[in-house]
Amino acid sequence: MKEKYEQLLAIYKEMQVVEQIGMLLGWDQEVLMPKGGIIQRSEQQGYIARLNHKIGTDPKIGELLKEIKEHENYDKQSLIEKRNLYLIQRDYEKATKLPEDFVVEYTKTRVMAVEAWREARADNDFSKFQPFLEKIFEMAKQYANYINPKVPPYEVLLDEFEPGMSSEKYTDIFTPLREATIELIRKCKEAPIQPDTSLIYRKVPLDIQDKLSRDIIHLINFNMDKGRVDVSTHPFTTGAYDDVRITTRYQEDDFTSSFFSVMHEGGHGCYEQNQAEEWKYQPVGNYCSLGLHESQSRFYENTLGRSKSFWFYYLDRFKELTGDIFSDVQYADFIRAINVVEPSMIRVEADEVNYNLHIILRFEIERDLFAGKIEIKDLPRIWKDRMRDMLGIEVKKDSDGVLQDIHWSGGTFGYFPTYSLGNVYASQFFNELTKDIPDWNTKLENGDVSSILNWMKTNIQEKGNLYDAPELVKVVTGEYPTPQYLIDFLEKKYSELYGF
């Protein structure tokens, strides 16, 4: 049985290596590839998809799984071995339901759609992206029907990105979160203390912002010997283990856009770099779920990066790196400014309170699309209407509205809800962290970032995919995920900042 198990792991490693080649091709497309190379790149990614599908659907996998399951010592395996076999079985059953030609065509179409989205966003012209989005949407539904024709497509896709989640479960989380968020926004708006954001919206040359990026990456222990930081249209993280690449985008009149983007993507990157070395190329040696992945990025960006304790330590360093630009800024005023609660058109630049409304808006649009209540052609108008109703914002340009995110061009319907789920997980983890490290804030104020990061590394990141996300949350915190910790965290933080 041990020999058969090792054969399975060898096949899985081969799949991982091929997938990582595809990741590099995707990174290159976003960062370095000339515009004219898109058709060639779609062929390359299509080939990678075909190769990986052939490996992942090899009947030998099914035979080995069957033989191991029927072995007399099957029940004596370790937790890690059982989890590896479960994950390989799950992936194999899913892969064998997908026709190879469909996998290739879906991959090539998504590559082309990403380029169409980039052009449409630059030109503020949804019509250039619409036919690609319509095709991607239909193929996403077809994908879901291949996986499980008995379940509504959107439910299949939600489970794809966060195993075990459904529209009903997300609604159970989002309903109290929406109500609490709207009330918190009202309190902040009417509060006696209002942040002066002119303190942060100052011209910061891009070379200085790049220095800040390098400094913060070093501070959060992202290993640059095994990683890169580059620039792309939409910030992202890709890669695994010893080659993890993150990107950001710079705005000269708003350093926070890149600064917190680097913190965010750095959180993703550290999660990938900190997977347990002994599980490398095994199913358990991968990330747990996209919601768990997001919990790391949102923790680094917000729970850590926007905290009073962090800036008590880092503000002097920040001023040193930026010269005279912020020399007149006082600590208390700066903290309020970087934590301003103010509606924003752009999700990735939204404050941590309004951010969840952005996600709920996207979740509801996706849900209605798959339910046939709305159509792709009406998305620009629907987006504008819902932004006005939910966030009180008038969207003037589609590039700031329906075209602002890259995700749909890549076919990732069902992905957006994991962002707010990541906030939920992060707050619940932080509550537990404060019990284990009761003087965490004093440590942080004195520049000890490692104590907090090591807690995350030990309790979450090194656990990889040993558990499904809800189970991991329960292992770490003693409870299954609940939005109440996030609601309480935001209420406490912003009542102190705004004085209500």
DSSP 462-481: GGTTSS-HHHHHHHHHSS--
Distances (CA, A) of 31 to 113, 221, 247, 271, 327: 16, 23, 8, 22, 34
pLDDT band at 234 (very low <50, low <70, confident <90, very high): confident
3-state secondary structure of 150: coil
Burial class (CB in 10 A: 0-12, 13-18, 19+), 73: exposed
**Residues facing 239 on adjacent strands:** 244
Given pLDDT bands bounded at 50, 70 and 90, which one contains residue 407? very high
The per-residue pLDDT for range 339-386, each reduced to its tens digit, is 999 999 999 889 999 999 999 999 999 999 999 999 999 999 999 999
Catalytic residue numbers? 265
Q: Give the pLDDT confidence score for residue 75 in this predicted structure.
A: 87
Q: What pLDDT is stored for residue 73 in this prediction? A: 87
Residue 291 near residue 359, CB atoms below 8 Å? no
Find how far residue 343's CA is from the centre of its chain.
Answer: 21
Q: Report the alpha-carbon distance of residue 275 to residue 465 in Å, rounded.
A: 9
CATH class of 167-498: mainly alpha
Which pLDDT value is given to residue 72?
86
pLDDT of 330: 96
**pLDDT > 70: percent of the chain:** 100
Residues of the chain with CATH 1.10.1370.30: 167-498
- Alpha carbon dihedral 407, 409, 411, 414, in 10-degree steps, equals 30
- Sheet of strand 243-248, all strands in order from the earlier edge strand to the far edge: 227-231, 243-248, 237-240
CA 396 from centroid of its chain's CA atoms: 27
Question: Over 90: is that where the pLDDT of 74 sits?
Answer: no
Residue 273: band (very low, low, confident or very high) from pLDDT cuts 50, 70, 90: very high
User: Pairing mode, if any, of strands 243-248 and 227-231?
Assistant: parallel
What pLDDT is stored for residue 499 in this prediction? 94
User: Number of C-alpha atoms within 13 angstroms, CB side, residue 164?
Assistant: 12
Closest CA to 359 of 368, 347, 369: 347
pLDDT band at 329 (very low <50, low <70, confident <90, very high): very high
- Give me the phi and psi of 244, to 5 degrees please: -115, 125
Dist. CA 368–CA 102, nearest whole Å: 25
Q: Name the 3-class secondary structure at 229.
A: strand
- Rounded to whole angstroms, the Cα distance separating 136 from 216 reads 37
DSSP letters of 237-292? EEEETTEEEEEE---TT-HHHHHHHHHHHHHHHHHHHTS-GGGTTSGGGS-S-HHH
pLDDT tens digit sequence for 25-65: 999 999 999 999 999 999 999 999 999 999 999 999 999 99
What pLDDT, on the 0 to 100 scale, is given for residue 14?
98
Mean pLDDT of 208-217: 97
Position 4 pLDDT exceeds 90: yes
Does pLDDT of 76 surpass 90? no
pTM of the model: 0.95
**Does residue 486 carry a pLDDT above 90?**
yes
Summary mean pLDDT of the chain: 96
Average pLDDT on 81-91 reads 97
Query: Tell me: the pLDDT tens digits for 107-154?
Result: 999 999 999 999 999 999 999 999 999 999 999 999 999 999 999 999
β-sheet bridge partners, residue 231: 248
Q: Give me the amino acid identity at 454.
A: N
Q: How far apart are the first and last CA of the chain?
A: 63
Q: How many residues does the chain have?
A: 500
Whether residue 233 has pLDDT greater than 90: no
Cα 299 from Cα 429, distance rounded (Å): 9
Neighbour-count burial of 282, counting CB atoms closer than 10 A to its CB (0-12 exposed, 13-18 middle, 19+ buried): buried
Alpha-carbon torsion 48, 49, 55, 58, what sign? negative
Residues 456/429, Cβ–Cβ less than 8 Å: yes
